[in-house]
Amino acid sequence: MSDESVVRADALHKSYDDTVALDGVSLSIPRGEVFGLIGPNGAGKTTLVRALTGTTAVEGEVRTFGVAPTEADRSRVGLLPQEFGPPDRLTPRELLEYYGGLYDEARDPEAVLADVGLTEEADEWYETLSGGQRRRACVGIALVNDPDLLFLDEPTTGIDPAGRRDLWTLLEGLAAGGTTVVLTSHSMDEVERLADRVGLLRDGRLVAVGTPADLVAEHGGPSRLVVGVDAGADDPAATGDGESGAGALRGAGFDVEAGDGELVVEGVTPADLAGAVAALDDAGVGYESLTWTEPGLEDVYLRLTGERFEGAFTPGASAVDGEDGRASTAPEADAEVGR
Ligand SMILES: Nc1ncnc2c1ncn2[C@@H]1O[C@H](COP(=O)(O)OP(=O)(O)OP(=O)(O)O)[C@@H](O)[C@H]1O
């Protein structure tokens, strides 16, 4: 592994009685990288963060800045644990002053408050803040020593969409300035946007590591066109007579799987879309919706963990309304998986 690594782990193992939390995890994270850790509940993400920060003992070797985490210069490391409860009867400003006072040098609390969007709530007790505001305060505490290495265990849980985007912009700026970030999250859009590389943990093992694009290309599966049809109006058993949606699409050369109220065509490229729509229109087939979906990190997650969940948007999905034919972009993916 490279000597340039800010974080390096070799063959980490950790068990709690019969529960294997880490089962041979090795990784190397270079300076300035945002490394996203994803995986189902109980996969070992928090245990890995704790191992990398020296807050739990593990078998194997961990190095941060080339030394054991317990030996590393703590002024260079920021940690936002998954569960962190600072004193309730302090305000965000007081919390930042307090935690900043633990270091020889700390950032100006006002600047940190601005970074995490708490300037207006700076003088309210922590206990009176909303859940998302509390989480922002906790993120601020992790930033107060201006760390070179930042561990964030589910940092945006409970933070509203605008606040999440603000925080993402902040983290992108930190990474651009050379801060190394280890981020665990159940939000696939968060990880897909922020992470240079992603590690997927399952049962204590890193089962895939790569850039989001590489993981999607390798494990994401094909793009899909789903045509929503009135179940009664389309004949799922149609074999290409041109009178049903399935037949029309098959007649145009598409491999169609017909289900209850929907026709699914896999591997449709953007260039194929117009042909599919034309085939349906030419055959006079009525349809309720057309949804074209590119695979995203969420598909990688679902495929590699074998998990399924209902009602989630998929990153990159766009829809064409069957009524007026206008293309529209689906709401940005905000699926939280594994919860
Ligand atoms: N202190 C502990 N004592 C006993 N078992 C533990 C302890 N900490 C974690 N475990 C177990 O180790 C496994 C990994 O837990 P961990 O918290 O690392 O998972 P995670 O991926 O962070 O999960 P989540 O997404 O729910 O936060 C789980 O089976 C968990 O029950």
Mean pLDDT of the chain: 86
Ligand 1 geometric centre to CA of 42 (Å): 5
pLDDT grade for 243, boundaries at 50, 70 and 90: low
Whole-angstrom CA distances from 138 to 77, 159, 161, 189, 214 are 15, 12, 17, 22, 33
Pick from 35-44, 166-175, 233-242 the range whose average pLDDT is largest.
35-44
Which residue's CA is the nearest one to ligand 1's atom 28?
42
CA of 46 to the centre of ligand 1 (A): 7
The more confident residue out of 4 and 170 is 170
Domains annotated on the chain, with CATH: 5-211 (3.40.50.300), 219-329 (3.30.70)
Report the separation in Å between the CA atom of 84 and the middle of ligand 1, taken as the mean of its atom positions: 16
Q: How far is the CA of 293 from the centre of ligand 1 (A)?
A: 33
pLDDT at 235: 53
Q: What is the pLDDT of residue 231?
A: 61
Read off the pLDDT of residues 131-144 as tens digits, 9 standing for 90 and up. 889 999 999 999 99
Print the SS3 string covering the chain: CCCCEEEEEEEEEEEECCEEEEEEEEEEEECCCEEEEECCCCCCHHHHHHHHCCCCCCEEEEEECCECCCCCCHHHEEEECCCCCCCCCCCHHHHHHHHHCCCCCCCCHHHHHHHCCCCCCCCCCHHHCCHHHHHHHHHHHHHCCCCCEEEEECCCCCCCHHHHHHHHHHHHHHHHCCCEEEEECCEHHHHHHHCCEEEEEECCEEEEEECHHHHHHHHCCCCEEEEECCCCCCCCCCCCCCCCHHHHHHHCCCCEEEECCEEEEECCCHHHHHHHHHHHHHCCCCCCEEEEECCCHHHHHHHHHCCCCCCCCCCCCEEEECCCCCEEECCCCCCECCC
Determine contact, residues 320/226, Cβ cutoff 8 Å.
no
Which tens digit of pLDDT belongs to each residue from 150-159?
Answer: 999 999 988 8
- What are residue 150's DSSP bridge partners? 78, 181
Q: How far is the CA of 87 from the centre of ligand 1 (A)?
A: 25
With a pLDDT cut of 70, the percent of the chain lying above it is: 86
**Residue having the nearest C-alpha atom to atom 3 of ligand 1:** 16
Asked if residue 313 has pLDDT above 80, the reply is no
- Strands of 5-16's sheet in order across: 19-30, 5-16, 59-64
96-114 pLDDT, tens digit each: 999 999 999 999 999 999 9
Residue owning the nearest CA to atom 18 of ligand 1: 44
Q: Whose CA is nearest to atom 12 of ligand 1?
A: 21
Confidence of residue 232 (pLDDT cuts 50, 70, 90): low
Specify the ligand 1 atom closest to the Cα of 46.
22
Q: Quote the pLDDT of residue 3.
A: 52
At 4, the pLDDT band (50, 70, 90 cuts) reads confident
Q: Cβ < 6 Å from ligand 1: which residues?
A: 16, 19, 21, 39, 41-47, 82
pLDDT for 48 beyond 70: yes
Q: How far apart are CA 285 and CA 244, in angstroms?
A: 6
Which residue's alpha carbon is at the smallest distance from atom 6 of ligand 1?
Answer: 16
**pLDDT digits over 260-308, tens only?**
888 999 999 889 999 999 998 988 888 889 999 999 999 999 999 987 5
Statement: residue 162 has pLDDT above 70: yes
pLDDT for res 244: 82
How far, in Å, CA of 83 to CA of 93, rounded? Answer: 20
Q: What is the mean pLDDT of residues 294-323?
A: 64
Q: Please give the number of the atom of ligand 1 that sits closest to the Cα of 154.
A: 27
Is residue 230 very low, low, confident or very high in pLDDT (cuts 50, 70, 90)?
Answer: confident
pLDDT surpassing 80 at residue 195? yes
Q: How far is the CA of 23 from the centre of ligand 1 (A)?
A: 13
Q: How far is the CA of 200 from the centre of ligand 1 (A)?
A: 15
Q: Name which residue sits closest to atom 26 of ligand 1, judged by CA.
A: 41
pLDDT at res. 329: 30
> Token match 């709690």: residue?
16
ipTM > 0.90, yes or no: yes
Q: Atom 2 (ligand 1): residue with closest C-alpha?
A: 16
